[in-house]
């Protein structure tokens, strides 16, 4: 988008406009192939036409359950051109998670790939509303149709149902409108000086908000380019940084830890690039300092979540303070309130962070109760994250009010893991917490009270394999005599965490 232009109603509209304006401009570089805007746009329009010919009606849901690939992005835009709603699905999800998400969203059609199709087929018998599964490759090619006239999405139309969770119960679908996504992408591009001249090294998974709604959206809005990797590999990413073709890199702290390790093993250091961004989990001040020393770059740390995409950012120009997530993006607001009274707190006091702005979602899919609990009458959204704001306006995240574990940039909700482990024969009780981990930020640890003395840690983790993604499985299972509880019988998670930490010392 160029300065002075009016905002598009959707990311799809911005993408198509950029393809018309500069059809031969590089959009994606993928496994040695350079894909111009015109070609990716043609595939997106073909997929949208295929959906319309198949019978997808406006507002119906299409799931994307596949690894990073240009056709995932073509299908994403194409679904929006057809008036559909995209449901991004974590590529590590297993049958239990797929049944819940597909069933809850009422998914009619899914695009998947060879690696993930068998797991989807395992779930399909319990998904009567899932009418069609298209496999990437030949299946995708066969599905494309000749575009007729296309109607662009309206800003108020539902664009994405992105599944998130609380600490109790099943995951909830956050409804994001096209205008929410545009407002956020515009704020990000303004704050980070993102222009059509940039090329982003994009190795984040595209099912995740960070990869899709920050990386891909910013690229499509500005008409810039991206080098897309199937997955993050430190050596491959380091080589891409060395060749000097990229200007930005977005990653999670685990990626930066591995890049630092790679740098220490190499003789050559990458040339400076315009911007390194870290998010999805806290970046340690040590990693921040080490990166500055080895790469000569100061990482920009920011804070966001599924329901709002991006909320807070360290400045592009100005001091980037390690351990903080900066100030609100342009056009957005943030504050810290008392957890009980919900009254705003003074600078330096820790409370719950609330946010407000055009980026914030309108509510949860089919969950008016959860929506009502999350918003106050003035439109402030309660993030569930604890933090404080300094006199300089920089926010610091100090903890998670809902016991969320972030491991390697992925959200792990203890209750979901506990429910899986509770089904394991020989388990009496379980409490799941996160403990500090030098590589992943936090690791998932389960404290288990067993009723079968022969139960082993290996049996517990093997049992989880059926229903949980790999990163959710406990990295450690510790057997305990009993779980600490309060007078009402509620498990005291902080005591569990303290006990496990002490046992490691």
Band of pLDDT at residue 495, cut at 50, 70 and 90: confident
pLDDT of residue 505: 64
CA atoms of 73 and 67, how far apart (whole Å): 11
pLDDT of residue 165: 53
CA atoms of 50 and 75, how far apart (whole Å): 10
Band of pLDDT at residue 37, cut at 50, 70 and 90: very high
Asked whether the predicted pLDDT for residue 3 surpasses 70, the reply is no
Whose structure tokens read 């139309």? 157
CA atoms of 367 and 374, how far apart (whole Å): 11
pLDDT of residue 142: 97
What are the backbone angles phi and psi of residue 113, rounded to the nearest 5°? -130, 175
Lowest mean pLDDT among 263-267, 379-383, 405-409, 483-487: 483-487
Please give the average per-residue pLDDT across 218-241, as a whole number.
Answer: 97
Asked whether the predicted pLDDT for residue 490 surpasses 80, the reply is no
pLDDT of residue 2: 54
CB 185 within 8 Å of CB 232: no
pLDDT one-digit tens code per residue, 157-178: 999 999 985 434 578 999 999 9
pLDDT of residue 466: 83
pLDDT of residue 488: 44
Residues β-bridged to residue 133: 110
Q: What is the 3-state secondary structure (H, E, C) of 103-126?
A: HHHCEEEEEECCCCHHHHHHHHCC
Band of pLDDT at residue 485, cut at 50, 70 and 90: confident
Q: b/e for 304-329, b at 16 or more Cβ within 10 A?
A: bbbbbbbbbbbeeeeebbbebbbbbb
pLDDT of residue 460: 95
In whole angstroms, what separates CA 445 from the centre of its chain?
A: 22
Mean per-residue pLDDT over the chain, rounded: 93
Beta strands in 12-154 (DSSP E): 26-30, 33-36, 61-65, 85-88, 107-112, 132-135
Please give the average per-residue pLDDT across 365-379, as a whole number.
Answer: 96
Residue with the larger pLDDT of the pair 429 and 4: 429
Residue with the larger pLDDT of the pair 417 and 114: 114
pLDDT of residue 414: 79
The span from the first CA to the last CA of the chain, in angstroms, equals 54
Please give the average per-residue pLDDT across 315-319, as a whole number.
Answer: 96
Lowest mean pLDDT among 272-276, 363-367, 422-426, 455-459: 422-426
Sign of CA dihedral 366, 368, 374, 375: positive
Residues across the chain? 505
Asked whether the predicted pLDDT for residue 406 surpasses 90, the reply is no
Please give the average per-residue pLDDT across 311-330, as a whole number.
Answer: 96
pLDDT of residue 168: 44
pLDDT of residue 465: 87
CA atoms of 69 and 140, how far apart (whole Å): 12
Band of pLDDT at residue 254, cut at 50, 70 and 90: confident
What are the backbone angles phi and psi of residue 442, rounded to the nearest 5°? -140, 150
Asked whether the predicted pLDDT for residue 263 surpasses 60, the reply is yes
Asked whether the predicted pLDDT for residue 109 surpasses 80, the reply is yes
pLDDT of residue 167: 39
What domains can be seen in the chain, in order of their start residue? 25-153 (3.40.50.980), 199-400 (3.40.50.12780), 405-504 (3.30.300.30)
Band of pLDDT at residue 245, cut at 50, 70 and 90: very high
CA atoms of 435 and 269, how far apart (whole Å): 33
Please give the average per-residue pLDDT across 216-226, as a whole number.
Answer: 98
Residue with the larger pLDDT of the pair 200 and 502: 200
pLDDT of residue 33: 97
Band of pLDDT at residue 400, cut at 50, 70 and 90: low
pLDDT of residue 166: 43
Most confident of 272-281, 355-364, 405-414: 355-364
């Amino acid at each position: 988008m160029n300065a002075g232009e009016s905002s598009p109603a959707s990311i799809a509209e911005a993408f198509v406009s950029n393809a018309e304006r500069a059809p031969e401009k590089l959009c994606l570089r993928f496994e040695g192939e350079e894909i111009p805007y015109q070609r990716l746009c043609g595939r997106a329009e073909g997929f949208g036409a295929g959906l319309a010919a198949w019978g997808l009606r406006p507002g119906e849901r299409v799931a994307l359950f596949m690894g990073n690939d240009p056709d995932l992005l073509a299908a994403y835009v194409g679904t929006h051109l057809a008036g559909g709603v995209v449901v991004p699905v974590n590529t590590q999800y297993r049958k239990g998670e797929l049944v819940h998400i597909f069933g809850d969203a009422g998914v009619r059609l899914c695009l998947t790939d060879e690696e993930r199709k068998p797991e989807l087929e395992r779930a399909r018998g319990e998904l009567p509303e899932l009418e069609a599964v298209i496999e990437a490759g030949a299946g995708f090619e066969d599905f494309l149709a000749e575009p007729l006239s296309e109607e662009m999405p309206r800003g108020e139309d539902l664009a994405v149902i992105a599944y998130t969770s609380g600490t109790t119960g099943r995951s909830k679908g956050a409804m994001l409108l096209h205008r929410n996504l545009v407002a956020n992408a515009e704020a990000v591009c303004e704050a980070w000086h993102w222009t059509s001249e940039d090329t982003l090294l994009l190795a984040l998974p595209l099912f995740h908000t960070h990869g899709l709604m920050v990386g891909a959206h910013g690229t499509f809005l500005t008409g810039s380019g991206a080098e897309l990797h199937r997955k993050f590999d430190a050596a491959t990413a380091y080589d891409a940084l060395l060749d000097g073709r990229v200007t930005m890199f977005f990653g999670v702290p685990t990626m930066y830890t591995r890049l630092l390790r790679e740098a220490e093993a190499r003789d050559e250091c990458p040339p400076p690039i315009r911007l390194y961004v870290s998010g999805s989990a806290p970046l340690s001040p040590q990693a921040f300092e080490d990166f500055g020393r080895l790469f000569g770059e100061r990482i920009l740390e920011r804070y966001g979540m599924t329901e709002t995409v991006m909320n807070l950012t360290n400045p592009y120009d100005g001091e980037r303070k390690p351990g903080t997530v900066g100030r609100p993006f342009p056009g957005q607001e943030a504050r810290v309130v008392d957890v009980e009274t919900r009254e705003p707190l003074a600078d330096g006091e820790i409370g719950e962070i609330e946010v407000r702005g055009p980026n914030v979602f309108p509510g949860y899919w089919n969950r008016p109760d959860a929506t009502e609990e999350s918003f106050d009458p003035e439109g402030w959204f309660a993030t569930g994250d604890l933090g404080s704001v300094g006199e300089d306006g920089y926010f610091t995240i100090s903890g998670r009010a809902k016991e969320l574990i972030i491991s390697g940039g992925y959200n792990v909700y203890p209750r979901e893991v506990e429910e899986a482990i509770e089904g394991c024969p020989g388990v009496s009780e379980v409490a799941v917490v996160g403990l500090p981990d030098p590589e992943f930020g936090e690791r998932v640890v389960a404290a288990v009270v067993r009723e079968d003395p022969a139960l082993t840690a290996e049996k517990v983790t093997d049992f989880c394999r059926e229903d949980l993604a790999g990163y959710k499985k406990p990295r450690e299972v510790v057997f305990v005599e009993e779980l600490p509880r309060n007078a009402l019988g509620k498990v005291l998670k902080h005591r569990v965490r303290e006990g496990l930490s002490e046992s490691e010392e």
